[in-house]
Amino acid sequence: MAAAAFFDLDRTLLRRSSALALAGSFRDRGLLSRRQLAKAALMQLLFVARGADATAVQRVAEDGLRILRGFTPDELRALVASALEPVLKPLVYRDPLALAREHKQRGEGVYIVSAALQEIVDALASELDFDGALGTVCEVENGVYTGHSVRALHHVAKALAVRELADEKGFDLAACTAYSDSASDLPFLELVGHPVVVNPDRDLRRIAADRGWPVLEVSAREYPHARRRVPPVVFGIPVLLGAAVVSWRYSRSRERRSSLT
């Protein structure tokens, strides 16, 4: 294979964050409190509204790993496997998956590259017939997760991991394609000869327009009849959401006033 296609996961191949989609499963296993679940939902809403810069992605990713402390890799793999059909597959976008299949038919490798946990991207790559996946690797000691990362795959680290894979497999990066929705993935997109943006956030949409990169707007699901699990209602989310919005608007107004002084 002289070339490959690399797909970001959250909001590129899936309709929303895989971690947030799995929050109900973590909650059922006692790994996530109602307060943590509400916080995760709010962060997702703010990311959608504002876009996610590299620092925010890193902070949220590292915070999320803490809930795994004391959990075993086999337990996590079992959790993800049980959530594939009811939770994750209903989120898969039809058009990006069709593009992955086209790349594969041309003899190119297809890979998921994401800040999501390696165990999540491995399961999805296998289920969707990708050639492999690169994700965040959580540290394991004495058979259980420590809650810290060995490899946190976001921003520049994502591009470095793709370069290492390309060197290992002999891919010509100038002939490769990368798909993402977020400006935080700019180093990843700039690494290849054919960057494509999917449902981009505000900053990435502007960058794509400036550079003439293709923009895909997708919405249809590949598995519209897959069994969907409705996550539990989180008590207090409306109140917390209101507080978060007020806090965000206040911080934005302070930023604007600071820039004028």
Q: Residue 156 falls within a domain, yes or no?
A: yes
Q: What angle (nearest 5°) sits at the alpha carbon of residue 234, between those of residues 232 and 238?
A: 140
Give residue 84's pLDDT.
94
CATH code, domain with 81: 3.40.50.1000
What the block records as the tokens of 152 is: 């946190």
- Give the total number of structural domains in the chain: 1
Of 121, 153, 98, 97, the residue nearest 18 (C-alpha): 121
**Catalytic residue IDs:** 8, 10
pLDDT of residue 71: 86
pTM value? Answer: 0.79
Instruction: Provide the pLDDT for residue 61.
Output: 55
Pair 148, 155: CB distance under 8 Å: no
Q: Is residue 224 in a domain?
A: no
SS3 of residue 147 by DSSP:
strand
Task: Tell whether the torsion through CA atoms of 129, 91, 6 and 79 is positive or negative.
Answer: negative
In a domain, 94, yes or no: yes
Q: Is residue 222 part of a domain?
A: no
Residue 117: give the domain boundaries. Answer: 4-216+230-260
Question: Is residue 128 a part of any domain in this protein?
Answer: yes
pLDDT in tens, 52-87: 554 555 555 566 677 788 889 999 999 999 999 999
DSSP 3: -
User: Under DSSP, is residue 134 helix (H, G, I), strand (E, B) or coil?
Assistant: strand
CA dist 109 and 101 (Å) reads 10
**Looking at the domain assignment, is residue 225 inside a domain?**
no
pLDDT < 50 stretches in the chain: 38, 42-51, 54, 229-259, 261
> CB–CB of 235/33 below 8 Å?
no
pLDDT of residue 31: 58
